[in-house]
Amino acid sequence: MIERTHSYEISAAHVLSHPSLSDAENRALYGKCANPGGHGHNYGIEVTVGGRVDDRSGQLVAAGLLDQIFDERIRQRFASRLLNDDVAFGDLVPTAENIAVVVHADLAAEIAQRTTAHLVRVRVVETRRNSSTIGAPE
């Protein structure tokens, strides 16, 4: 098996706040990230797929297809938006960890359906000091 990673960037905003907690509890838990006005990031999102190289094309995934899937499933949905407003974050605080979970879940089936590869992992880079990675569920 070989792996191939594509890196993307999207700008989006979020508020780290759990609805069952008071404003004071959210501030204690999430600090300045609990600001009700929200704040934005230029998220780096790395998508790694794995599988066998196609003998004819010499590629794991056809050129541009992974980009197209990412654009359709992730960029159009989340870019330049408040993540808290997306249905996927209805019960989830849009932390880097949960963003990785949502992106992985949204891409896995689509990649399997439209390519011969499978999704190996998704890494969400929120800041230089903060990233979260999810692999295939066990």
Report pLDDT for 77.
96
Report pLDDT for 30.
95
CATH code of the domain covering residue 101: 3.30.479.10
> For residue 88, what are the CA distances in angstroms to 5, 7, 105, 135?
24, 22, 10, 19
Report pLDDT for 63.
76
Percent of the chain with pLDDT over 70: 98
Total domain count for the chain? 1
Report pLDDT for 136.
63
Which domain, by its residues, includes 71?
Answer: 2-135
Q: Tens of pLDDT along 104-133?
A: 999 999 999 999 999 999 999 999 999 999
Q: Tens of pLDDT along 28-81?
A: 999 999 998 899 999 999 999 999 999 998 999 987 999 999 999 999 999 999
Q: Token pair of 69, please?
A: 């899937």
**Contact 121/45 with Cβ under 8 angstroms?**
no
Q: Tens of pLDDT along 74-101?
A: 999 999 999 999 999 988 999 999 999 9
Q: Where residue 137 falls among pLDDT bands split at 50, 70, 90?
A: low
Collect all residues with Cβ–Cβ distance below 8 Å to 25 and sequence separation of at least 6.
Answer: none
